[in-house]
Structure 1
Amino acid sequence: MNIVKKINLNEDESIVFILRRHAIYKFVSYIFALTILLAVAFFVFWLLAQGPFGNVLIGGGIFLAVIVSVRAWHKDNGNFTVITSARVVDISRKGFLKELVSSVKYDNIKDIHIKKSGLSANLFNHGTIVIETKSERTILELEKIHDPLQAQTLIEECSENFARNGKLKDQDAIYSAFIKSIPDLDEERLYEVKDFLEARLTELSTEKLEGKIENDNQE
């Protein structure tokens, strides 16, 4: 399974973390399958004595255990959430042939909160992370996530980094456009730019000096 192709990862985007369902849900299915096999093994001689009907029950029990195990493996490997540097992508398998891929970009996230209910959720520390979008049309629910508080913090940190990098890119774009426009400016506008830059540099120097004085006073 190529996650990069599955989520259509962009060139300037990287995978930060992958969230999966709590392991307890996988183990419950495997334990159920093992219980079926143990039951078949325990009654195997009695079932064999029942003739064709017993053979059918043995075969049916083994087949059911295999189906439960394969389904658990398929569901565990097919349901996960990819946290990238630009968005949250949730991949959910609704069956053996049906898959749903949903994504929300960080700049479209309105709120992130956690839902935990029941003894199991509090005992084994798992829950649902709910991501609401600004448009309020999309609500992404990441279910049965282990340590949802840590996962929520990770998503929020990635969102903050995305916003910070976006501002830096905007500044770079403005600077690049400004530099390219300088040769096209006439003398009058160049002097206006010069006066503005000198005034701005004076402001920055004053702010820096005031900050240094304040730090010295605190020490």
Structure 2
Amino acid sequence: MKHLNLKPGEKILGYARQHPVLVAVPLVFEIGFILLAFFFMTPLFRLGAPGTVVFVLAVIFGAFLSFRSWLLWHSNVFIITDRRIVDIDRRGFFEWVVSEAQFWNIQDIAWNTKGLVQTIFGAGNVVVQTASGFVNLEIRFVKDPARVAQAIKDARDSGLAPAGPPDGDPGEKFSDLDPDSRRALSKYANHLRSKKSFKEFLGDNSEEDRV
């Protein structure tokens, strides 16, 4: 899959996209635009070259919009591997935003359903909050959000992810700890790294002052 670089031994467990209704609605209007051009094809052709140009441009424009709508929907995907969550967000033909959260750094997984439209279509939003708070992943209007959130929780809690906090292992395997302990240890590791960086910063300034 484009823009997803799997690490050695990493496996994709599943993925989720936004509800198909989000692409179906614009496609109906865009395909309808093409059909409308064919409906007026005969009158347009009677106008000669100008009418023919209008017809061709209308069909090309409708086809372009239809392809763009489908491409953006298909390319925006929430991927669950055995080590992390990857959110691939395509915002145009040449613009991508890729975010990820390692399992050990995930603090909370929540889902919600808002409004009449989401309720009717059984859709909702899934939010993955990290312990650091720098990266929060969200997929909106996804089909069956409770199932998606549970799949992420199961993958995180299964112990398949071998990687722990970057600073190492305090006496026992990180993956053997229960989920609450892993999150607490991750928070503490982040705190220690921040504290260490702050001390180094103060130490560097002190040395410069002495010189």
TM-score > 0.5, shorter chain as reference = yes
Of the three residues 84, 87, 92, the one matched with 2:81 is 84
Structure with the largest fraction of helix = 1
Post-superposition shift, 1:94? 1.4
Q: Which residue of 2 aligns with 1:33?
A: 30
1:90-142 superposed Cα distances (whole Å, 9 cap, x missing partner): 11111111111110011111112123222221111112211111112221111
More deviation, 24-33/157-166 = 157-166
Q: Which residue of 2 aligns with 1:108?
A: 105
8 Å CA contact retained: 1:106, 1:162: no
Cα RMSD (Å): 2.5
Of the three residues 128, 150, 153, the one matched with 2:150 is 153
Q: Distance in 1 between matches of 2:135 and 2:32?
A: 41
Q: Within the alignment, does 1:127 sit opposite 2:124 as a pair?
A: yes
For 1:74, what is the secondary structure of its paired residue? helix
- TM-score by structure 1 length? 0.69
AA aligned opposite 1:125: G
Q: Which residue of 2 aligns with 1:21?
A: 18
Q: Which residue of 1 aligns with 2:138?
A: 141
Identity fraction in percent? 27
AA aligned opposite 2:102: K
> Structure 1 residues 19, 57: CA separation in 2 closer, same or farther (over 3 Å shift)?
same
> Structure 1 residues 166, 103: CA separation in 2 closer, same or farther (over 3 Å shift)?
closer
Q: Write out the 4+ residue segments of structure 1 that deviate beyond 4 Å after TM superposition.
A: 163-167
Q: Distance in 1 between matches of 2:29 and 2:90?
A: 21
Q: Which residue of 2 aligns with 1:215?
A: none
Structure 1's unaligned 5+ residue stretches are: 174-219
Post-superposition shift, 1:164? 8.5
Q: Which residue of 2 aligns with 1:58?
A: 55
Aligned length: 169
Structure 2's unaligned 5+ residue stretches are: 165-171, 177-211
For 1:95, what is the secondary structure of its paired residue? coil
